[in-house]
C-alpha cells in the first residue's frame, strides 16, 4: 500500500492504453455501514482508484452536492475515527488505491502523527488537503513520507507557470488539475481553454495529470482525457449513487477505457 502502490496501479492502466478514472465519494453518506460496500461497487465498475471525502463542517472547496453529502454523513454521526476503523478492519476487501480528501483542521485535531500512522494501518495511499498551501507542506511532509503516503497537489487555472513548476515538483501520485474557477460541482460544458492548461501541466509534471471539478458526462471525460491522463469525478458520482443509477456510473468509468465497445 502507499504511494508506490498508487503509482503502480496508475502505470498498469496507462500501459494498457487506458486513462485513469477516480470517482469521489463522501465517506459515511448513507451511514458508515454502507462505506465499504460503496468502495467495492466502484472498484467492480472499473475505477482506477477512489477518492474518499472526510465529512467536515466547513468544506470550502466543495460545491452544494458534496456539501450536502457531508452534512448527511455528519448527521449520521460519522467521524474520521470510524472511517479509519472501518478501513483497518476491511481494507483488504478493496484492491485499488484509496486517496483521502480532507481539510487540515480534522487532521490537526486528530493529531498529525497519529493521523498518518492510522492512515498507514488503514491502507490509505494518498492525501489531498485543498486548504493546505504548498508553503505549509512541512506541517505534514515528514509524517507523510515516514508512512509512505502520497501528498497530492492541486494546480488551478490561475496558477502561473512558476507556481505550476513548483507544484509539479512537490506533488506525489498525480497532479490534480482544477478545471474551473470555483467550487466542485457538475457543469454542463467543459471550459474551451482547458486543453491548453492541461498541456502546460503535462509539460511540467513527472506524474500523471488528472482533471477534476465540473466533469459530469462520458463526453466530458473523453474530452478532458484528450489532454491529460485521467479524471476525478465527484458530484456526478454522488448524484448517481443517491439515485441508484449504477449503470450510468459504469458508463462514465468506461469512457476512459480503450477497449470499450460502443453501441452507437
Range of the domain at 67: 3-254
Backbone angles phi, psi at 175, to 5 degrees: -105, 125
Give the span between the Cα atoms of 82 and 7, in whole angstroms. Answer: 27
Residue 235 lies in a domain: yes
Residue 260 lies in a domain: no
CA distances from 14 to 21, 31, 46, 49, 207 (A): 11, 34, 14, 13, 12
- Per-residue confidence (pLDDT) for residue 191, from 0 to 100: 55
- How many residues are there in the chain? 264
Residue 263 lies in a domain: no
Prediction pTM value: 0.93
CB atoms near residue 165 (< 10 Å):
16
- Does 182 have pLDDT greater than 80? no
- Does 185 have pLDDT greater than 50? no
219 given a catalytic annotation: no
Give the span between the Cα atoms of 143 and 90, in whole angstroms. Answer: 24
Give 164's contacts (C-beta < 8 A, 6+ positions apart).
155, 200, 201, 204
Q: Which residue from 92, 80, 85, 74 is spatially nearest to 30, judged by alpha carbons?
A: 74
Report, as an integer, the average pLDDT of 211-229. Answer: 93
DSSP state of 56: -
Residue 194 lies in a domain: yes
Residue 144 lies in a domain: yes
254 given a catalytic annotation: no
DSSP state of 190: -
Residue 196 lies in a domain: yes
Q: What is the CATH number of the domain that holds 18?
A: 3.20.20.70
Residue 230 lies in a domain: yes
Give 263's contacts (C-beta < 8 A, 6+ positions apart).
none
Q: Which residue from 25, 21, 22 is spatially nearest to 239, judged by alpha carbons?
A: 25
- Per-residue confidence (pLDDT) for residue 189, from 0 to 100: 47
- Per-residue confidence (pLDDT) for residue 99, from 0 to 100: 98
User: Look-up: residue for cell 492541461?
Assistant: 198
Residue 36 lies in a domain: yes
Q: Which of 51, 120, 172, 223 is catalytic?
A: 51
User: What is the residue-averaged pLDDT of the chain?
Assistant: 92
Overall number of domains in the chain = 1
Q: Each residue of 111-158: pLDDT tens digit?
A: 999 999 999 999 999 999 999 999 999 999 999 999 999 999 999 999
Report, as an integer, the average pLDDT of 208-218. Answer: 93
Backbone angles phi, psi at 22, to 5 degrees: -120, 105
- Does 47 have pLDDT greater than 50? yes
Q: Which of 13, 29, 62, 172 is catalytic?
A: 62
- Does 263 have pLDDT greater than 50? no
**pLDDT tier, 61 (very low <50, low <70, confident <90, very high otherwise):** confident
Q: Which of the two residues, 259 and 30, has the higher pLDDT score? A: 30
Q: Which of 13-27, 94-108, 248-262 has the lowest mean pLDDT?
A: 248-262
Amino acid at each position: 500500500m502507499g504511494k508506490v502502490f498508487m503509482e503502480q496501479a496508475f502505470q498498469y492502466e496507462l500501459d494498457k492504453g487506458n486513462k485513469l478514472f477516480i470517482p469521489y465519494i463522501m465517506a459515511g453518506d448513507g451511514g458508515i455501514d454502507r462505506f465499504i460496500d460503496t468502495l467495492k461497487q466502484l472498484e467492480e465498475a472499473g475505477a482506477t482508484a477512489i477518492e474518499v471525502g472526510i465529512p467536515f463542517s466547513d468544506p470550502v472547496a466543495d460545491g452544494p452536492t458534496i456539501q450536502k453529502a457531508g452534512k448527511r454523513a455528519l448527521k449520521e454521526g460519522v467521524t474520521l475515527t470510524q472511517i479509519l476503523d472501518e478501513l483497518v478492519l476491511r481494507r483488504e476487501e478493496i484492491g485499488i488505491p484509496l486517496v483521502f480528501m480532507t481539510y487540515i483542521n480534522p487532521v490537526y485535531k486528530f493529531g498529525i502523527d497519529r493521523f498518518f500512522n492510522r492512515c498507514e494501518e488503514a491502507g490509505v495511499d494518498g492525501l489531498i488537503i485543498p486548504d493546505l498551501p504548498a508553503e505549509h507542506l512541512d506541517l505534514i511532509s515528514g509524517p507523510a513520507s515516514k508512512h509512505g503516503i502520497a501528498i497530492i497537489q492541486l494546480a488551478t487555472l490561475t496558477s502561473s507557470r512558476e507556481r505550476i513548476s513548483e507544484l509539479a515538483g512537490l506533488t506525489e501520485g498525480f497532479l490534480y488539475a482544477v478545471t474551473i474557477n470555483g467550487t466542485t460541482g457538475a457543469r454542463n460544458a467543459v471550459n474551451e481553454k482547458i486543453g491548453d492548461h492541461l498541456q502546460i501541466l503535462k509539460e511540467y509534471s513527472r506524474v500523471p495529470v488528472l482533471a477534476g471539478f465540473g466533469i459530469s458526462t462520458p463526453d466530458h471525460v473523453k474530452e478532458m482525457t484528450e489532454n491529460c491522463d485521467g479524471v476525478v469525478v465527484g458530484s456526478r458520482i454522488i448524484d448517481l449513487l443517491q439515485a441508484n443509477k449504477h449503470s450510468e456510473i459504469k458508463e462514465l468509468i468506461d469512457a476512459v477505457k480503450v477497449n470499450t465497445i460502443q453501441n452507437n
